[in-house]
Amino acid sequence: MVKDSSSSNLTPGCPAPSDAGGAQCRPGEVKCGDGFVCIFHAWLCDGDADCPDGSDEDPSRCGTQSCRPDQFQCGGLGECISRSLVCSGMPDCRDGSDEANCEGCDPESQLRCENGTCVDISLACNGINDCGDGSDEGSLCGSCARSNGGCSHGCQDLPGGRRCSCPDGYRLAADGTSCQDIDECENPGACSHICINQVGHFKCECHAGYVRDPSNHAFCKAQQGHASLLVTHRTDIRQVGLHRREVTSLVNDTNAATAVDFDFRAGTVYWADAMDRAIYSAPAEDGSRRSVVRVAVRPQGLALDWVHGRVYWTSSEPGSSGVHTAPLDGSYQLTVVSAETAEPRAIALDPVARWMYWTDWGTVPRIERAGLDGSRRRTIVDTQLQWPNGLTLDLERRRIFWVDTRRRVLESANLDGSGRQIVISSPQTLHRPFGIATFEDSVFWSDWERRAVFSANKFTGDRVAVVTRLGSLQFESDVRVYHPYRQPPGNNHCLSDNGGCSHICLPAPDEQRPTSCACPSGLRLGDDGRTCSQEPSEDSGEAQTPSSLSPAAAGHQAISSEDQSGTTTAVAATAAVLIIVVAAVAGFLVYRRVNAKGFRRFDSPSYSKSLRDVVKLQKTRIHNSPSATDDEVLITSGERREAA
C-alpha cells in the first residue's frame, strides 16, 4: 500500500492504475470512488477519510447503525459501547466521544453516583446519603474493618466493595491486595537522560553539558547557548529561535530546497536543491556567499558528517537510487548503498559511532541502518510503516525518531529498532508531517498541510504547540535543531595517515578496524584492502579504468555505481586518445628540433589570418636580435599557442 515508484502523481499508499480503466485492487482492498486508488478494507467506514475523494466514508456506502437503548453510539464510527462506560475517565470509543462533554468524575478521588453526579470518594460508606439516591452507601460498606480488608497497606470502603491502595512509589500487585515497588524508570520520560530506580522512589542524572532544572529535577537543560531551528521552505531557508521565537532569513532565492543540515563548529549551513541537482553551502551569518557542489543525482535527504568532514545524501532517481557521499568539497562522489533501494528519503548520521540511518518508502517501506562506508547494512524497522518521511537521532537517549505521513504517527525506537514506542498517533495533530528533529525533552516536526512547524514532549506527545507558521503555500519543509550539542565531538580515524588508505578513507562501524578504503574511478582496490592501483587489461595488457569502486576487503561492503560497462568503455577510449596526443606532441618536438625550417613553413587551417599577422609582427621584432632565432619566436609565442 505504498506509492508506486513508476508513478509520481498518485497518492502514496495506493497502487498505480493498471490501465486507463482504473486500479486493480489486491485482495483485502477496496476501490475508491475515483477508480484509481485502493485502500485496505479495514479502513472502510472507520471515520477517517482515506480516499482522496472521501468515498470510503460516504453515508450511502457506510449507512448508519443504531445502538440498543442500553448502549452508547460512538460519534460517526458505527461503534456501540455500554452506557456504563460513558464518562468513566477512560475512552472506550476509538474517537473518544464517550468521554466528551463529561463533567467527569475522577476515578481516583471521586465516586460516580448512579444518578450521574460525582461525590468525593471519602464520603463513600460514611452512613450519609451524599449522592441523593443512596448509591454511595451499600451492603459491602465496612469491608475494611475486617483484617484491613486483606490489604497490605491502605484500604478504602466503597459501596461496591473495598479497594486497596499503596503509598507513593508502590503499586498494587496482580493479587489486588499487596503492594510492590514501581520502577519509575520504565516510564518514558521519567528522566530526561539517566534514570536510577530505588525502592519506593527514583532519581535522575544528566549527561555532560546538561544540568537538572531547579524547578523540575527530572528535566535536563543544556548549559550552553540557546537552540534554534533551521527550516527549509523550498524558496528559502529560515532560522527560528526557540527562546524568543524570532525568525531570521538565512538563505533566499533557492529553487527547491528539500533538505538542510549544518556544521556548527564551522558556522556553515548546507542544503540540497532538488531542482538544481546540487548541494549548496554558505556561512550561517551570510547566506548570499554560497558555494555549490554539483551532484550526478537529484538529492532528497541530506546529512552532514561533522566528525569526518563528509556529506551524505539520498536519491530516488531510477538507476541511481541509493545513498551517496563525498567530502565537503564535492570531490570523489561515491555511492555507498544502492542495491534494493527504491524510494530512499530522509537520512540521519551518528558519526561518533560511524552509523547512518535512512527511510525508504518504496514497495516495502522500511528504516535501514548501515556503516558510513555502506557495510553491515540491515533493516531495523519494517512493520506498520507506509510513508516514513522525516528521520532524526536522539544521541543523548540513543533513540531514533520518525514520522509516517500516511499513518499520521510519530514514533521512536532504540537505534537497533527495538523498544518501539508511539509518541503521537492522531490525525488531528499530525496532518502531513514531513521533517523532524529533537532537542532536550522536545520533538519538532513540520507539517506541509498545516503549513507550520510544531513541538511536543518527545516522550509523551503532550504540550503540542506551534513554533512557527510557514506561509500560505504548501511545501515540504525539512527541519534541524541548530545547537552544538546536536553535534558531539568524535574521533576522526581517517585523520591519521588517511586511515591507512592510499586514496579514499571512509569511516566504518567496526571497532577493530574503524576505517574502510575505497578508490577513485580508474583504480582498483588491492588485496590488502588499502592500496589503489591500476589493473592490467586481459586483452591489451594496458591498465583498466573501472568506473566504480572495488569491494573493500575484510568484510566491508563494496561501493558500487550503475552502468559500469558503458563508463569503462568511454574512459578507456579517452585514455587511448590521450596516449595518441602525447605521442604526437613528443614526435612534433623532436621533429621541430631537427628541422626547424620545415616546421616554420607549416600552415594549418586553424590558424586565422589575424593570427598569422601577429606571428609575422613578432618575428619581425625579434629577428633583429642576434640572440633570437625563428625557432625561439615560435616557441615563446604564448598567444599563438593558446589560439591554436
Task: With respect to residue 172, please indicate whether it lies within any of the assigned structural domains.
Answer: no
Domain residues for the domain of 452 are 227-486
Asked if residue 507 and residue 390 are part of one domain, the reply reads: no
CA 462-468-471 angle, 5° bins: 130
DSSP 395-425: TTTTEEEEEETTTTEEEEEETTS-S-EEEEE
Asked if residue 325 and residue 301 are part of one domain, the reply reads: yes
Q: What is the pLDDT of residue 312?
A: 97
Asked if residue 469 and residue 532 are part of one domain, the reply reads: no
Give mean pLDDT, residues 271-277: 91
Where does a domain end: 194, 221, 248? 221
Q: Structurally, how many domains does the chain consist of?
A: 5
**Which CA distances in Å does 395 have to 352, 439, 487, 490?**
10, 10, 9, 13
Handedness of CA 377, 356, 443, 182 (dihedral sign): positive
pLDDT digits (tens, 9 = 90+) for 298-352: 899 999 999 999 999 999 888 889 999 999 998 889 999 999 998 899 999 999 9
Contact 136, 119 (CB under 8 A): yes
Q: How confident is the model at residue 536 (pLDDT cuts 50, 70, 90)?
A: low
Task: With respect to residue 566, please indicate whether it lies within any of the assigned structural domains.
Answer: yes
Asked if residue 379 and residue 265 are part of one domain, the reply reads: yes
212: domain CATH number is: 2.10.25
Looking from the CA of 247 toward its CB, the CA atoms found within 13 Å total 12
pTM of the model: 0.64
Q: How confident is the model at residue 105 (pLDDT cuts 50, 70, 90)?
A: confident
Looking from the CA of 34 toward its CB, the CA atoms found within 13 Å total 14
Asked if residue 413 and residue 519 are part of one domain, the reply reads: no
Give mean pLDDT, residues 605-611: 33
Asked if residue 474 and residue 497 are part of one domain, the reply reads: no
391: domain CATH number is: 2.120.10.30
Asked if residue 387 and residue 278 are part of one domain, the reply reads: yes
CA neighbor of 276 nearest in space, from 288, 262, 294: 294
Q: Please name the helix (run of DSSP H) or strand (run of DSSP E) that holds residue 238, with its range, or none.
A: strand 234-241
Which of the two residues, 346 and 38, has the higher pLDDT score? 346
- Using DSSP, state whether 154 is helix, strand or coil: strand
Where does a domain end: 469, 486, 503? 486
pLDDT digits (tens, 9 = 90+) for 404-449: 998 999 999 999 999 999 999 988 899 989 999 999 999 999 998 8
41: domain CATH number is: 4.10.400.10
Q: How confident is the model at residue 13 (pLDDT cuts 50, 70, 90)?
A: very low
What percentage of the chain reaches a pLDDT higher than 90? Answer: 40
Q: How confident is the model at residue 586 (pLDDT cuts 50, 70, 90)?
A: low
Q: What is the pLDDT of residue 627?
A: 38
Asked if residue 457 and residue 337 are part of one domain, the reply reads: yes
Q: Please name the helix (run of DSSP H) or strand (run of DSSP E) that holds residue 89, with its range, or none.
A: none
520: domain CATH number is: 2.10.25.10
Q: What is the pLDDT of residue 182?
A: 85
Task: With respect to residue 481, please indicate whether it lies within any of the assigned structural domains.
Answer: yes
Asked if residue 397 and residue 272 are part of one domain, the reply reads: yes
pLDDT of 468 > 50? The answer is yes
Asked if residue 618 and residue 532 are part of one domain, the reply reads: no
Average pLDDT over the chain, rounded to an integer? 78
pLDDT digits (tens, 9 = 90+) for 241-262: 998 888 999 999 899 899 999 9
Contact 371, 325 (CB under 8 A): no
Asked if residue 421 and residue 285 are part of one domain, the reply reads: yes
Q: What is the pLDDT of residue 551?
A: 33
Q: Residue 584 phi/psi, 5° resolution?
A: -65, -45
Min mean pLDDT across 156-170, 267-281, 374-388, 620-634 is at 620-634
pLDDT digits (tens, 9 = 90+) for 189-225: 899 999 998 888 889 999 999 999 888 889 999 998 8
